[in-house]
Structure 1
Amino acid sequence: MLKGQCVGLRAIERQDLPQLLLWRNRPEYRRYFREYRETGSDDQNDWYDKKVLQDPSTRMFSIVELATGRLLGACGLCYIDWVNRTADFSIYIGADDLYIDTKFAPDSGKAMIDYGFDELGLHRIWAEIYEFDELKKTLFKVLGFKLDGRHRETHWAEGKWHDSLFYGYLATDR
């Protein structure tokens, strides 16, 4: 288990999947995800079996509260490019309808960044978010990510086009 101040990042277990699926399917969360469609349990199990358990380019974790062991959400590094040593950072806190908060998300993010750089030897951790995701903009600033760029009008939501924002964090930024 990777440990922060108040959270632990542990392997996603099959018994976590029903709760993660409920959170993942919340419409108010889905608007922030690349895969915006509702996911079924068969798709969730397929993702778990093929991506979480078998794909060397994916490292996903359950976020748990250290004091209680309560499942809080999920985070991970995806699309790991082992040649160029880069990975896409993903996170959400499902418990208590938080999505991104000021306690668990930053602690989880720091633990994930440390793991990416110190354990996996990554050079760059990046993330793509949509311009309306104010909570993740704040989180990335707190974690030390820098805005690398913008792709214009990549995401259709709520009746209009939105830009994608790309954030990066280099090992040398630490």
Structure 2
Amino acid sequence: MVSFEPFPVLMTPRLRLRAIEPADAAAILRIHSDPEVTRYFGRAPDVSLADAEQRIALVLAGIREVTSIRWGITLHESGELIGTTGFWHWHKPHHWAEIGYELLPALWNRGIMTEALRAMLPFGFDVMGLHRVEAHVDPENRASIRVLERLGFARDGLLRENWYYDGRYTDTAIYGLLRRDADGVAG
């Protein structure tokens, strides 16, 4: 039986992936209110501290109920919360989950998200017992696709015009990583 208590803190050379707390609301709002961050989310940016508090409440409920897990990404040097990553849409009977992640734009193109996911993915395979990890990505989000491909994810398909937001339909590219293909993920 999987448990997220105590919360699993993950360390990398530059990062500490830790529990997200109610005190992180301002930092979460800073990330999720940025239109560059939410550009490919298919939803409007957050606009209030209440939005961030609600987002944190959902994260904490998923952890408590052992239905999802999300880490706050912090820099060792400053302790600043710069993004989040985690597993959600966990289909326990089928041994797969979807990942999601976001990072402050000032830190893009520095390998931070690749480093964070490289720490997180083995947790999914080894602790959660996943056989497959999926990422659903807007095909125009080339930076996110590069991160996934760098980690060994393969494009499994395209859902054409399956998402409607802001007066238009968009596609979703499905990327997958199988346990047996994840040998190079750790370390």
TM-score normalised by length of structure 2: 0.82
How many matched pairs?
170
User: Which residue, out of 151, 172, 180, partners 1:164?
Assistant: 172
Are residues 157 and 31 of structure 1, via their aligned partners in 2, closer, same or farther at CA, if it must alter by over 3 Å?
farther
- For 2:109 and 2:122, the matched residues in 1 are separated by 19
User: Which residue, out of 94, 99, 106, partners 1:97?
Assistant: 106
User: Given the alignment of the two structures, is residue 110 of structure 1 paired with residue 110 of structure 2, yes or no?
Assistant: no
- Secondary structure of the structure 1 residue equivalent to 2:171: strand
- For 2:137 and 2:82, the matched residues in 1 are separated by 21
Structure 1 runs of 4+ aligned residues shifted over 4 Å read: 156-161
- Secondary structure of the structure 1 residue equivalent to 2:41: coil
**Residue type at the aligned position of 2:35:** P
- For 1:101 and 1:12, the matched residues in 2 are separated by 24
Task: Give per-residue Cα distances to partners, 1:9-68, cap 9 Å, x unaligned.
Answer: 10001121211112111112212114x12333223322322x222222220110011233
Kept in 2: contact 1:93–1:105 (CA 8 A): yes
Unaligned runs of 5+ in 1: none
- For 1:42 and 1:72, the matched residues in 2 are separated by 19
Kept in 2: contact 1:130–1:155 (CA 8 A): no
User: Given the alignment of the two structures, is residue 53 of structure 1 paired with residue 60 of structure 2, yes or no?
Assistant: yes
Superposition pairs for residues 18-29 of structure 1, below 5 Å?
A: 18-29=26-37
User: Given the alignment of the two structures, is residue 131 of structure 1 paired with residue 139 of structure 2, yes or no?
Assistant: yes
Residue 155 of structure 1 and its aligned partner are, at CA, apart by 3.8
Alignment correspondent of 2:130: 122
Question: What percent of counterpart residues are identical?
Answer: 27
Task: Give per-residue Cα distances to partners, 1:127-167, cap 9 Å, x unaligned.
Answer: 10101101001000111111011011234578764321000
- For 2:72 and 2:49, the matched residues in 1 are separated by 17
Alignment correspondent of 2:86: 76
Are residues 118 and 67 of structure 1, via their aligned partners in 2, closer, same or farther at CA, if it must alter by over 3 Å?
farther
TM-score normalised by length of structure 1: 0.88
Structure 1 vs Structure 2 CA RMSD: 1.9
Alignment correspondent of 2:15: 7
**Residue type at the aligned position of 2:72:** S
Residue 106 of structure 1 and its aligned partner are, at CA, apart by 0.5
**Residue type at the aligned position of 1:41:** L
Kept in 2: contact 1:75–1:89 (CA 8 A): yes
Residue 108 of structure 1 and its aligned partner are, at CA, apart by 0.3
Residue 91 of structure 1 and its aligned partner are, at CA, apart by 1.0
- For 1:33 and 1:111, the matched residues in 2 are separated by 23
Alignment correspondent of 2:160: 152
**Residue type at the aligned position of 2:80:** R
